Amino acid sequence: MSILIKNGRIITASDDYVADIFINGETVQAIGKNLNMPADEVIDASGKLVFPGGIDPHVHLSMPFMGTFSSDDYETGTRAALFGGTTTVIDFVLQTQGSSLKAALTDWQSRATGTAVGDYSFHMAVTDFNEETKKEIKTMIEEEGITSFKTFMAYKGALMIDDRQMIGLMNEVKANGGMVTTHATNGDIIDFLIAKHRSEGKLSPLYHYLSQPEVTEAEASARFTDFSDYTGCPGYIVHLTCEGALNAVRDSGKRNHKVFAETCIQYLILDASLYEKDFEGAKWVMSPPLREKKDQAALWAGINAGLLQVVATDHCPFMWEQKLMGKDDFSKIPNGHPAIENRMELLFSEGVNKGKISLNKYVEVSSTNSAKIFGMYPKKGTIGIGSDADIVIFDLNEKHKISADTHHMNVDYSGYEGWELTGKVKQVFLRGKKAIDNNQCLVKKGNGKFIKRNKVTGII
């Protein structure tokens, strides 16, 4: 199958020009003015933006949590991602404490293989680093193509590892060409505050927010940058939300050490006042929680300063019935927020259209940097000769509203209900195949491929 996209305004992390793109099979074969190749289909993209498919490196599909599972599986989640212009996601395999990394990987493969509609890869979340786990790191990197290892500095007794395990993991991952990422919040302080608020009968969603003050994230982020600096292991902080944590990343740079960091779309545009909506605030119960207006300003500035390289989602949706598990106790509300479909259009409308980021920065933080950091570039994350033909055709002027009535995520509410956007995904190509066309999905369950990733360098 060959496709010729004519006259689009091509945007990459570094370029902005009008040209044609010739796709043959799964890859881009030619880019230039007035291309005249014979093609099975010719698409006129005049007046439209054309940019690489989005990469969301932080999603949780069919994730077990608090006795239930996130409501999007690999079929519904990756399909919704495609509708929103995201062609590749990276999910988290969660090791069960007392079990092996391989067993966890086999479990997640059984959920994704033959199910995903869009492309996907895995991070490996290490929750029990010991001598047996240590032996598996090299295999994960060199044979499985899983080169990033997630750690949790919170959720004691379930996911959290201690500082001794963190240092041991970093040493082993560095020796084998990988990267350690982290959920950087101080679990002990959070657990103390949760217990305090519960003992005082303070049980509404507001106290989820008040149990995770900024200091819990700032302290853990600084500690993680210290560990990364000490071991020399490439480091990456997921879902960074606040000015204090951003300053920890900034301070790391002052001593000539680079730690990568991502924020998520919700932290750029939503704030903690939503927790004052009585139990409706449960829609936005996630960890870390939404922050203050001053943190939004700091995050946008951090993107433009290059301190934050990625805007992801931490997509982890739960049906309202599942959220009601915590109607009498905020600590029992499943943590998570649906956004996998909304990220690209929200970031364009709120970022580019409002003059907060450039078009090139938009592509950089929504696609290119993830590909570079996590070992998929230039196969993914750009429009270039030989790259996968993961391409979005985007109408920068079309206005529309977000609603649970029209989204494709498997969740019965939206955290952005009624939000008015300017800019709409019109067509999406995944490895040269037209996947989305004017709000219709043209590819089926099982279309998505697992993407093995290269070793990482900690340099982009």
Amino acid letter, 342 = N
The Cα-based distances of 396 to 20, 51, 393, 424, 430 in angstroms read 18, 12, 10, 6, 21
- What's the DSSP call for residue 255? T
Q: Residue 457 — very low, low, confident or very high, per pLDDT cuts 50/70/90?
A: confident
Residue 183: both structure tokens together = 């959920």
Distance from CA of residue 241 to its chain's centroid? 14
Of the candidates 244, 248, 256, 247, the one whose C-alpha atom is nearest the C-alpha of residue 225 is 248
Is the pLDDT at 153 greater than 90? The verdict is yes
Is the pLDDT at 328 greater than 90? The verdict is yes
The architecture CATH gives domain 53-373:
Alpha-Beta Barrel (3.20)
- How far apart are alpha carbons 110 and 104 in whole angstroms? 10
- The tens digit of pLDDT for each residue in 390-449 reads 999 999 999 999 999 999 999 999 999 999 999 999 999 999 999 999 899 999 999 999
- The tens digit of pLDDT for each residue in 162-206 reads 999 999 999 999 999 999 999 999 999 999 999 999 999 999 999
**Percentage with pLDDT > 90 across the chain:** 98
- The tens digit of pLDDT for each residue in 346-389 reads 999 999 999 999 999 999 999 999 999 999 999 999 999 999 99
The 10 Å CB-count burial string (b at 16+, else e) for 313-322 is: bbbbbbbeeb
Is the pLDDT at 65 greater than 90? The verdict is no
Q: Which helix (H) or strand (E) holds 433?
A: strand 433-437
